[in-house]
Chains A and B, each alone.
Chain A
Amino acid sequence: MHQKIRIGVLLLTFFVFHNLTYAQEHNEIEIQGKVVTIKKGIEEPIPYVKVKCASSDHVAITKEDGSFQIHLHELPDTLMIKAVGYELMAFVVEQEGKDVVVNLKDGSMLKGVTVFGRNLGKHIDLKDPFNVEKIGQDELRKAACCNLSESFETNASVDVNLTDAVSGAKKIQMLGLDGVYTQLQWENIPLIRGLSTSYGLSFTPGTWIESIQITKGTGSVVNGYESIAGMINLEVKKPSESERLYVNLYGNKFTRGEINVHGAQRINDKWSTMTFLHASNQFNETDVNKDGFKDMPVGFLGAAMHRWDFRGKNMESRFGIKGTFADKDGGQLGYNSSSDPTFPKWGASFKTTHLEAFGKMGIFMKNRPKGSLGIVNQLKYHQMNNVFGNSTYSGTQKKWYSNWIYSDIIGNTNHTYKTGASFILDDYSQTYNDSTFLKTEIVPGAFFEYTYKHLEKFTLVAGVRADYHNLFGTLFAPRLHAKWNPSKKSALRFSVGRGYRVPNPYSDFNSLMASSRTWIVDPNIVPEDGISSGVTFTQKFLIKDEVSTFSVDYFYTHFLNQLVTDLDVSPNEVHIYNTTGTSFSHAVQAELALKLTKTFEFRIAAKYYDVKAEFGGELQQKAFVPKYRVLLNSGYKTRNKKWEFDLTANWVGKKRLPSTASNPIKHARPDESVDYWVLNSQITYRMKKFSFYIGAENMLNVIQQNAIISADDPFGPYFDATQLWAPISGVNIYAGLHFDIKHKKK
Chain B
Amino acid sequence: MKIRLIMMLALMFIGLNGIAQDKAKSKIVKFKTSAICGECKERIEESLNYTKGIVYAELDIDTKVIEVKYKTKNLNAEKVKYLVSQVGYDAGETPRNEEAFNKLPKCCKSEGFCKRPGE
Contact = CB atoms under 8 A, between A and B. Distances in A.
A678 to B, nearest CB: 13
A701 B36 contact: no
A683 B49 contact: no
Interface in A697-745: 699-701, 731, 744-745
B57 interface: yes
A648 to B, nearest CB: 13
Contacts of B2: 700-701
Given A105-B62, A113-B37, A114-B38, A746 B106 contact: yes
A113 B107 CA distance: 9
Interface string A622-653: 00000000000000001111110100000000
Nearest to A79: B114
A90 B38 contact: no
Contacts of A744: 105
A281 B115 CA distance: 52
A112 B37 contact: yes
Given A109-B62, A642-B20, A78 B114 contact: yes
Interface in A511-549: none
Contacts of A110: 34, 36, 64, 110
Q: Which 3 A-B pairs have the closest CB atoms?
A: A639-B56, A640-B56, A745-B105
Contacts of A745: 39, 105, 107
Nearest to B47: A688
Given A111-B36, A643-B16, 17 more contacts: A90-B114, A92-B114, A109-B62, A110-B34, A110-B64, A111-B110, A112-B37, A112-B61, A640-B49, A642-B49, A643-B17, A688-B50, A699-B5, A699-B9, A701-B2, A701-B5, A745-B39
B106 A696 contact: no
B24 interface: no
B64 A638 contact: no
What band does the interface of chain B fall in when counting residues whose beta carbon is under 8 Å from A? 35 or more
A687 interface: yes
A54 B115 CA distance: 8
A641 B46 CA distance: 9
B110 A640 contact: no
Interface residues of A, number: 38
A438 interface: no
A241 B4 CA distance: 44
B70 to A, nearest CB: 11
B94 interface: no
A77 B115 contact: yes
Contact of B5 (A112, A114, A683, A731): A731
B9 A638 contact: no
Interface string B37-69: 111000001100110001111100111100001
A90 B113 contact: yes
Contacts of A109: 62-64
A692 to B, nearest CB: 12
Interface string B90-119: 000000000000000111001001111110
B5 to A, nearest CB: 6
Interface in A92-136: 92, 105, 109-115, 118
